[in-house]
Chains A and B, each alone.
Chain A
């Protein structure tokens, strides 16, 4: 086949990554196109395009260039796709609210005109994110940095600057925060209440906050700290400040702390700080064994358990009887479980539950004690995949935004004769895909009669734009079993494979 690559470089033209990914998909779907990408020409994006053979030899790009790259089966197809992409870019922008409102060119101009602004939400490409965060901190703003790909050195220096100025630096790679009912980045519409969350994990915070909200209680605030805050290099700077903030917040009685297992020194200082607090705490270090806690704190190894402790031991999904549901599933004599997760912490929670049930597990995002996929042969093990991990999302949207990231792995799992169960998660809320259940049911619609059992959990609330019950209904109508929480989906998977006789 004669493969043709064509590029167009627009100097000084910027579009955000979600808009570009939407356009990329449109162009890639055109007749005769093998692959297409519309990306800002940052060094990391240029490397992705070069590795994919999408950049013509000698094409030089800069971070403020928009690159359109098309790989097609013929010159005509490539030219036509490129022309259509250019036409889409040149189309007058939609009349969204953001378009009609005042749009300053910098944080400085925004703050000068609107001195009431107190927080910067930063989601520019990682290479430029630290510079924007520094500008925000210099102007006395708290920062929520959604961007990832920020160096540890930059993270430390930004958090030190923020602490010295009495400002909160949430992130980098902070996917979720809810401040005074305001959902920031990927967050859900929650009932207000008296439980606070400090989360080093976006989807962990979403699962716990939604389970609490759907159980009839509520969330005061959820402060995201970024996935690396509890590493030794950062020392828990933002976590400690968030605990301070909750300590003096009259609207919060109980705080849930969610993180991967911290560095022991950091865990010690965080737990010491908790011990001095007047509030009650639930500590959920996913993948850690029980830790020594001060008297005002309790430990939970799972997100569901953390939500239940915060709710005062109220059981979540008490009517859901995993054994009864499992007993209705016909035996298929196989026994394998594959989990395909959009939420990284949901994948970690699944590892905790399957390992505790005696299953042999492997994962690309392995928690302590679980085999890392690709390191050793993993024959006969359950595979739990975090599809939001870098290897799946480099140059692509996160599966919470674009559920098609899961399609290929899901189709392969549906054909896998060793599997009894496929575990899935759907994450709803602001920022997430408008209808992930519709997408999922389309992909699994033509599965064979002997395909593995599909079990899903839906992270979300009834007030979310997608509406939790409407999403659950679509899944159930497509023959997918839906559990009230990710933990119960995992317990059901274990019950089914135990029934399968392996």
Chain B
């Protein structure tokens, strides 16, 4: 997945970071204090809390 400016990871350093935060809520305030746009996900363990099922669903793109 590249475009004429090179792979995305090379462009990351030249672009503004916008963040989706999944987990520790404390990171949200820190990022906002530094002027970074961030959306916090109201996360709960998926697949009824079964890690193996959650991994499988993620692999299947669910």
Contact = CB atoms under 8 A, between A and B. Distances in A.
B45 A121 contact: no
A248 to B, nearest CB: 5
Contact of B30 (A119, A124, A179, A430): A430
Interface in B17-62: 17-34, 36-46, 48-51, 54-55, 57-59, 61
A107 B20 contact: yes
Nearest to B9: A168
A344 to B, nearest CB: 19
Interface string B1-22: 1100011111011111111111
B40 A147 contact: no
A14 B43 contact: yes
A107 B34 contact: no
B17 to A, nearest CB: 5
Interface in A1-50: 12, 14, 16-19, 40-43
B23 A121 contact: yes
Given A98-B28, A119-B17, A124-B23, A103 B41 contact: yes
Nearest to B6: A248
Contact of A41 (B8, B39, B49): B49
A123 B17 contact: no
B45 A64 contact: yes
A156 B11 CA distance: 23
A142 interface: yes
Contacts, number: 206
A64 B53 CA distance: 13
A43 B8 contact: no
Given A130-B58, A136-B20, A166-B1, A98 B25 contact: yes
A122 B22 contact: yes
A299 interface: no
Contacts of B7: 166, 244
Contacts of B46: 128, 131
A106 B43 CA distance: 7
A111 interface: yes
B13 A245 contact: yes
A97 B45 contact: no
B13 A141 contact: no
B42 A97 contact: no
Interface string A215-229: 000001100000000
B40 A18 contact: no
Given A123-B24, A183-B30, A40 B8 contact: no
Contacts of A246: 13
Nearest to B36: A182
A193 interface: no
Contact of B18 (A18, A119, A166, A189): A119
A148 B46 CA distance: 18
Nearest to B32: A97
B50 A63 contact: yes
Interface in A84-137: 96-98, 101-107, 109-111, 113-114, 116-125, 127-128, 130-132, 134-136
B12 A179 contact: yes
Contact of B24 (A18, A40, A97, A252): A18
A114 B18 contact: yes
A182 to B, nearest CB: 5
A122 B26 CA distance: 12
A123 B22 contact: yes
Contacts of A96: 25, 28-29
A117 B39 contact: yes
A103 B40 contact: yes
B1 A121 contact: no
A355 interface: no
A140 interface: yes
A62 interface: yes
Contacts of A249: 10, 13-14
A430 B23 CA distance: 16
A264 to B, nearest CB: 26
A105 B41 contact: yes
B43 to A, nearest CB: 6
B34 A132 contact: no
A251 interface: yes
Contacts of A125: 45
Q: Which of A124, A128, A183, A221 has the most CB of B within 10 A?
A: A128
Contacts of A103: 39-42
Interface of A: 12, 14, 16-19, 40-43, 62-65, 96-98, 101-107, 109-111, 113-114, 116-125, 127-128, 130-132, 134-136, 138, 140-142, 146-147, 154, 164-168, 179-185, 189, 220-221, 241, 244-246, 248-249, 251-252, 430-431, 465
18 contacts: A14-B44, A43-B51, A62-B49, A63-B54, A64-B44, A116-B37, A118-B17, A119-B17, A120-B20, A121-B21, A121-B38, A131-B57, A154-B55, A179-B17, A180-B13, A182-B34, A244-B7, A249-B10
Interface of B: 1-2, 6-10, 12-34, 36-46, 48-51, 54-55, 57-59, 61
Given A62-B48, A136-B20, A183-B30, 6 more contacts: A96-B28, A98-B28, A103-B42, A119-B12, A166-B1, A179-B17
